[in-house]
Amino acid sequence: MNVFWHSSVTGPIIGVLWSFVIATTVAVLLSFTTGDAFRPGLIGCLFMGGFAGIMAVQPVSRVLVAACAAILAVAFSYTAVSPVHVAGNVGHGGHWAAGIAFGIGLAWPVRVMFDGCPKGVLGRHEWEAAVIRFLTGVGYIFFTAAVAIPFYVMVMTSLKTQGELIANPLDFSIDFNRGWELLRSYEELFRDFNFGRYMWTSFYISVLTVLITLLFSIPGAYAVARLRFKGQKGLSRSILLIYMVPMIVLALPIYIAFSMTGLRNSIIGIVMIYPVTTIPVALYMLQGYFRGLPAEVEEAGLMDGLGRLQVIWKITLPLSLPALASVSLYVFMIAWNEFLLAFMLLDDPSKFTLTRGIASLNSSEIPRQHLMAGAVIATVPVMVMFLGLEKFMTRGLTAGSVKG
Amino acid sequence: MTITVPPKGIGPLARREARLAWGLLLPTLISVMLVVILPLLAIIWISFKPVTLADLRTAEPIIREDLRDADEAKPYIRYRIRNSSRSDPIFNVVFSDVVPEGVTLLSTPDGCDLDGAVLTCDLGDLEPGGRITLEVPVTLEEGGAIKDGTAPAITGSAQNVLTNGEFTLANFIAIFDAREFWTVVGTTLFYTVVGTLGALIVGLFAALLLNKSFPGQGLLRGLYLFPYVAPVIAVAFSWVILFDPFSGSVNALLIQMGVTEQAINFFGERPLALIMVTVFEIWRYFPLSFLFILARMQSIDTDMYEAADVDGASPFQKFRYLSLPMLMGILSVLFLLRFIWTFNKFDDIFLLTGGNAGTRTLTVNVYEQAFALSNIGAGAAVAVIILMCLLTFSWFFFRFMSKEEGL
CATH number at residue A207: 1.10.3720.10
In a domain, A176, yes or no: no
Query: Residue A393 — very low, low, confident or very high, per pLDDT cuts 50/70/90?
Result: low
Q: Which residue in A140, A242, A354 is closest to B36 by CB distance?
A: A242
Quick one: A196 and A297 in the same domain? yes
Residues B185, B362: contact at Cβ < 8 Å? yes
Quick one: A250 and A383 in the same domain? yes
Quick one: A107 and A211 in the same domain? no
Binary contact (A372, B238; C-beta < 8 A): yes
Q: Which residue in A254, A374, A383 is closest to B39 by CB distance?
A: A254
Residues 67-126 of A with CB under 8 A from B: 124-125
Separation of alpha carbons A334 and B229, rounded Å: 9
Quick one: A68 and A203 in the same domain? no
User: How many Cα atoms are found within 13 Å in the side-chain-facing hemisphere of B130?
Assistant: 15
In a domain, A147, yes or no: yes
Query: Residue B288 — very low, low, confident or very high, per pLDDT cuts 50/70/90?
Result: confident
Binary contact (B253, A31; C-beta < 8 A): yes
Binary contact (A223, B256; C-beta < 8 A): no
Quote the pLDDT of residue A319.
86
**pLDDT over 50 (residue B66):** yes
Helix axes B232-242, A354-361, angle to 10 degrees: 20
Quote the pLDDT of residue B130.
79
Q: How many domains is chain A partitioned into structurally? A: 2
Residues B330, B407: contact at Cβ < 8 Å? yes
Binary contact (A223, B218; C-beta < 8 A): no
Q: Which residue in A139, A140, A250 is closest to B36 by CB distance?
A: A250
In a domain, A63, yes or no: yes
3-state secondary structure of A28: helix
**pLDDT over 60 (residue A299):** yes
Residues 375-394 of A with CB under 8 A from B: 375-376, 378-379, 382-383, 386-387, 390, 393-394
- A247-256, B47-56, B266-275, B340-349 — which is least confidently predicted? B47-56
Query: Residue B407 — very low, low, confident or very high, per pLDDT cuts 50/70/90?
Result: very low
Contact list in A for residue B223 (CB cut-off 8 A) is 144, 147-148
Alpha helices in A86-123 (DSSP H): 92-113
Separation of alpha carbons A305 and A311, rounded Å: 10
* Nearest Cα to Cα of residue A13 among A44, A66, A53, A40: A53
Separation of alpha carbons A233 and B324, rounded Å: 30
Best of A242, A256, A369 to disrupt the B interface (most B CBs within 10 Å) is A256
Which of A286-295, B46-55, B268-277 is predicted most confidently? B268-277
Rounded to two decimals, the ipTM of the complex is 0.89
- A91-100, A327-336, A390-399, B58-67 — which is least confidently predicted? A390-399
Quick one: A9 and A114 in the same domain? yes
Separation of alpha carbons A321 and A37, rounded Å: 54
Best of A29, A249, A370 to disrupt the B interface (most B CBs within 10 Å) is A249
Binary contact (A252, B235; C-beta < 8 A): no
Contact list in A for residue B24 (CB cut-off 8 A) is 219-220, 222-223, 227
In a domain, A173, yes or no: no
Quote the pLDDT of residue B148.
67
Quick one: A266 and A322 in the same domain? yes
**pLDDT over 70 (residue B247):** yes
Binary contact (B315, A333; C-beta < 8 A): no
Q: Which residue in B21, B28, B363 is closest to A229 by CB distance?
A: B21
Quote the pLDDT of residue A202.
92
Quick one: A7 and A142 in the same domain? yes
Quick one: A217 and A110 in the same domain? no
In a domain, A160, yes or no: no
Binary contact (A219, B285; C-beta < 8 A): no
Binary contact (B233, A339; C-beta < 8 A): yes
More confident residue, B311 or A391: B311
- A57-61, A294-298, A379-383, B322-326 — which is least confidently predicted? A57-61
More confident residue, B274 or B133: B274
More confident residue, B33 or A16: A16
pLDDT, averaged across chain B: 83
Q: Give the angle A98-A100-A103 at the CA atoms, nearest 5°.
A: 100
Give the CA distances from residue B11 to residues A159, A228, B7, B15, B20, in Å, rounded to whole numbers and listed in that order.
70, 12, 8, 6, 14
Rg (chain B; Cα; Å): 34
Quick one: A110 and A196 in the same domain? no
Quote the pLDDT of residue A402.
43
Query: Residue B406 — very low, low, confident or very high, per pLDDT cuts 50/70/90?
Result: very low
Binary contact (B394, A375; C-beta < 8 A): no
- A61-70, B101-110, B390-399 — which is least confidently predicted? B101-110
Q: Span A175-181, mean pLDDT?
A: 75
Nearest CA-CA distance, residue B127 and chain A, Å: 22
Q: Span B232-245, mean pLDDT?
A: 91
Q: Span B372-392, mean pLDDT?
A: 88
pLDDT (tens digit per residue) in A89-119: 777 888 888 888 888 888 888 888 888 777 7
Q: Which residue in B25, B248, B397 is closest to A169 by CB distance?
A: B248
Residues B366, A247: contact at Cβ < 8 Å? no
More confident residue, A222 or B129: A222
In a domain, A309, yes or no: yes
Quote the pLDDT of residue B145.
62
Q: Which of A154, A180, A207 is the last residue of a domain?
A: A154
Separation of alpha carbons A393 and A329, rounded Å: 7
Q: Which residue in B28, B238, B253 is closest to A216 by CB distance?
A: B28
Quote the pLDDT of residue B233.
92
**pLDDT over 50 (residue A403):** no
Quick one: A119 and A204 in the same domain? no
Separation of alpha carbons B127 and B89, rounded Å: 5
Tell me the residue type at A198: Y
- B53-67, B207-221, B261-275, B393-407 — which is least confidently predicted? B393-407
Quote the pLDDT of residue A33.
80
Q: Span A256-280, mean pLDDT?
A: 86
Contact list in A for residue B205 (CB cut-off 8 A) is 139
The pTM score is 0.85
Boundaries of domain holding A64: 2-154
Quote the pLDDT of residue B149.
66
Contact list in B for residue A216 (CB cut-off 8 A) is 27-28, 31
A261 contact B CB<8A: no
Residues 77-116 of B with CB under 8 A from A: none
Separation of alpha carbons A209 and A217, rounded Å: 12
Quote the pLDDT of residue A401.
46
pLDDT (tens digit per residue) in B292-311: 888 888 888 888 889 998 98
A20 contact B CB<8A: no
In a domain, A183, yes or no: no
Quote the pLDDT of residue B185.
92
Separation of alpha carbons B176 and B189, rounded Å: 17
Quick one: A123 and A73 in the same domain? yes
**pLDDT over 80 (residue A236):** no
Quote the pLDDT of residue A397.
60
Helix (H) or strand (E) segment spanning residue A38? strand A38-40
- A226-230, A380-384, B148-152, B208-212 — which is least confidently predicted? B148-152
* Nearest Cα to Cα of residue B132 among B65, B87, B57: B65
pLDDT, averaged across chain A: 84
Quick one: A140 and A202 in the same domain? no
pLDDT (tens digit per residue) in A127-148: 888 889 999 999 999 999 999 9
**pLDDT over 80 (residue B2):** no
Residues 167-196 of A with CB under 8 A from B: 168-170, 172
Query: Residue B401 — very low, low, confident or very high, per pLDDT cuts 50/70/90?
Result: low
- CA nearest B32 in A: which residue? A276
Q: Which of A106, A126, A154 is the last residue of a domain?
A: A154
Binary contact (A224, B25; C-beta < 8 A): yes
Give the CA distances from residue A81 to residues A19, B139, B313, B366, B382, in Å, rounded to whole numbers and listed in that order.
14, 104, 43, 55, 58
Quote the pLDDT of residue B274.
93
| Overall size of chain A counted in residues | 404
Contact list in B for residue A140 (CB cut-off 8 A) is 209, 220
B184 contact A CB<8A: no
Separation of alpha carbons B321 and A224, rounded Å: 38
Domains of chain B: 59-158 (2.60.40.290), 170-403 (1.10.3720.10)
3-state secondary structure of A366: coil
**pLDDT over 70 (residue A71):** yes
| HEC sequence for chain B | CCCCCCCCCCCHHHHHHHHHHHHHHHHHHHHHHHHHHHHHHHHHHHHCCCCCHHHHCCCCEEEEEEEECCCCCCCEEEEEEEECCCCCCEEEEEEEEECCCCEEECCCCCCEEEECCEEEEEEEEECCCCEEEEEEEEEECCCCCCCCCCCCEEEEEECCCCCCCCCCCHHHHHHHHCCCHHHHHHHHHHHHHHHHHHHHHHHHHHHHHHCCCCCCHHHHHHHHHHHHHCCHHHHHHHHHHHCCCCCCHHHHHHHHCCCCCCCCCCCCCHHHHHHHHHHHHHHHHHHHHHHHHHHHHHCCCHHHHHHHHHCCCCHHHHHHHHHHHHHHHHHHHHHHHHHHHHHHCCHHHHHHCCCCCCCCCHHHHHHHHHHHCCCHHHHHHHHHHHHHHHHHHHHHHHHHHHHCCCC
Quote the pLDDT of residue B403.
59
Separation of alpha carbons B27 and B33, rounded Å: 10
Quote the pLDDT of residue A116.
76
Nearest CA-CA distance, residue B148 and chain A, Å: 29
What burial letters (b/e) apply to A163-191, b meaning 16+ CB within 10 Å? ebbeeebbbbeeeeeeeeebebbbebbbe
More confident residue, B366 or B403: B366
Residues B353, B265: contact at Cβ < 8 Å? no
Contact list in A for residue B22 (CB cut-off 8 A) is 223, 229
In a domain, A163, yes or no: no
The residues facing B112 across adjacent strands are B121
Kind of pairing between the strands at B153-158 and B90-98: antiparallel
Kind of pairing between the strands at B61-68 and B76-83: antiparallel
Alpha helices in A35-161 (DSSP H): 42-56, 62-76, 92-113, 124-158
Alpha-carbon dihedral angle through residues B310, B316, B321, B327, given to the nearest 10 degrees: 120
pLDDT (tens digit per residue) in B106-164: 777 777 888 777 888 887 887 787 788 888 888 777 665 666 667 778 777 777 666 67
Quote the pLDDT of residue A204.
92
